[in-house]
Every structure is written in structure tokens, then in C-alpha cells.
Homo-oligomer: A and B are copies of this chain.
Amino acid sequence: MNKASLPFLHTFVVAAKHLSFTKAAHELFLTQGAVSQQIRQLEQRLGFALFLRYHRSLELTSMGARLALHLRHMFSDLDGLIEELREERDSNIITLSVMPSLATRWLMPRLGRLQERYPGLQLRIQANDREVNFTRDRIDAAIIHSHLHTGSAYTMPLLMDKVFPVCSPAFAEQNQLHEPSDLVRVPLINDDSEWRFFSPYAEWEAWLAKANVKGVRPSRSMSFNRGDLAVQAALSGQGVALGRTPLVMDDIREGRLLKPFDEIYDNGHMYLFACPNEFREREPIQQVLSWLISECQSYAPEEALA
């Protein structure tokens, strides 16, 4: 295939539709001669005939017919995609990908304020555990859990992700939790949503090491594959869960959860806003981001967990 032949293919499709160079020329705002020449050149380059020329009529060869069919679909698919991409550009609907745990325990309770601030904004939340891929997925932006910089996308830090045990106030009272070594006596609730197969208890182990606790085996505990379920279990007094700041800050501030020890394990991760570089300037993206930032500042985790 020669690149130069490409526009001729369009002419060919039109000619094949009409089975007439004259009519095709009219549709394409060309002269009959131009169409005739384009088709002739195309046939030369392809190496096979597309039309059978009769007295005053044309017929597609079987190759020509198959090529025309293919091209019709090709062009309409291409038009479809371009139309789709154009609509995307104009759309006010932002699709935001968020991890399910953060979505339920942090984003959802706050979404009302976003609507208050930007009533025209249409946000679609896509709760998803997969790592985001802006090329593959139809996503405008995401809140990701990662180190500072990730790939080529634009990122903006939102929330520090620190890790520490939490439980319900009643549970702490009942089990006399005063110092980390008291954990030996109680059920530990684990969140294995990340690194599930490689090292499901890594965070507990890291925290226990930091707190210098020996002899506690997190593996005897109950385990959930979603962070919010682990918190939920702690809330209902099932045991001690390892909370991450954003997932438990509201509950701690409002007294439903308790942070019985001071030790904090900082895994170096954070929650980041991310979007393709070229989306950074889009108004609805800016609105979402500026709202997220103000939301994170006014309810800073440090404050809540002091």
C-alpha cells in the first residue's frame, strides 16, 4: 500500500457505490476524468482491476467488490472513532477512576459539596482496582495510590497515606489496649487488597516492626480484599484493623474509631490526582481538582489525627 493511494481509495468507494465515474465525480466535486484517472492509478498500484469497463456501464470485479466492502466499513469505523473523540473533547462529563475503598470511605461522603460548588459539573465515578491506563480506558482522571510521580501523566498529591491500627472505642476499652504489645491478645483485621499474593500481611508486619512488637502473628487474623471492609469490621468491633489515613479520618474525628497507639507507619505512598497532561486545562477537570485540593486542605489528616 502506497500512502499516496489513500485518497484514491475514497474516490473508489464512491465510484463503487454509484457504479459510475460521472456520478462519483459529481458527488466528489470533481470531473469525470479525474475519477477515471484516480481509479486507473489505483488499479496500477494495487496490481489488479477494480472495475470492468463496458460500453456505458461499470461493474465491480470480485476483488473490487471485496475491497469496496472492506473500505466502506473502514471509513465508517474511522468516522465513528473521530466523532467519538470529538464528543469527548466537548463533553462536560468527567469520568474519575477511584479505588473502591477510597470511593466509599472518603469520596462519597464529600461528593455533595462538589455538587454544591459546581452545580453544572457532571461526574461519573468509576470504582476500579485496576491500575489506570488513560490510553486504554475511557477515563478523564483518576485518584491513584502511588509514589510521587507515575509515568507521563500529570499528577497532584492529595492525601498522605499513613498506616496505624484502629479499633472501636468500646473494643479498646474491653481489651485494655494501652500499648502495642497488647495486640497479642486481640484479633487483627487485615487488608490484603494490595500485594495480595506476594505479601498479604506486609503492612501489619511493617507497623509491628516499627512499634517494636514481637510475637504477634498477623496471619491469624481475618482478612479482607478491600480496605473499606477492614475498616468496617473495626467499626463494628471485630478487632483491630490497620487504618490508612484517608479511610479512617472521618471516623476518628467523629469518635467512631480510635487510634490506640501513637506509632505510625509511613509507607511512602500517597493518594494522587492524575490525568493526561492535555486534560489539565479542561475546565471540568480543573474544577474537580481544585475541589479535591480544597477538600483535602480543609480536612487535613494531620489535624484530624493529631
Contact = CB atoms under 8 A, between A and B. Distances in A.
Interface of A: 1, 3-4, 6-7, 9-11, 28, 46-49, 52, 59-63, 65-67, 69-71, 74-75, 77-79, 81-82, 85-86, 88-89, 134-135, 152, 276-279
A48 B89 contact: yes
A47 B11 CA distance: 24
Given A48-B85, A60-B135, A61-B277, 6 more contacts: A1-B79, A1-B82, A7-B7, A66-B81, A74-B74, A74-B77
24 contacts: A1-B79, A3-B7, A3-B28, A4-B7, A6-B6, A6-B9, A6-B10, A7-B7, A46-B85, A48-B85, A48-B89, A49-B278, A59-B152, A61-B277, A61-B278, A62-B276, A65-B135, A66-B85, A67-B85, A69-B135, A70-B77, A70-B78, A70-B81, A71-B78
Given A62-B134, A277-B59, A86 B1 contact: no
Nearest to A28: B3
**Looking at chain A's contact residues, is the secondary structure mostly helix, strand, loop, or mixed?**
helix
Contacts of A9: 6
Contacts of A71: 78
Given A6-B10, A7-B7, A10-B3, A67 B81 contact: yes
Q: Which 7 A-B pairs have the closest CB atoms?
A: A6-B6, A65-B135, A61-B278, A62-B276, A3-B10, A63-B85, A62-B134
Contacts of A67: 81-82, 85
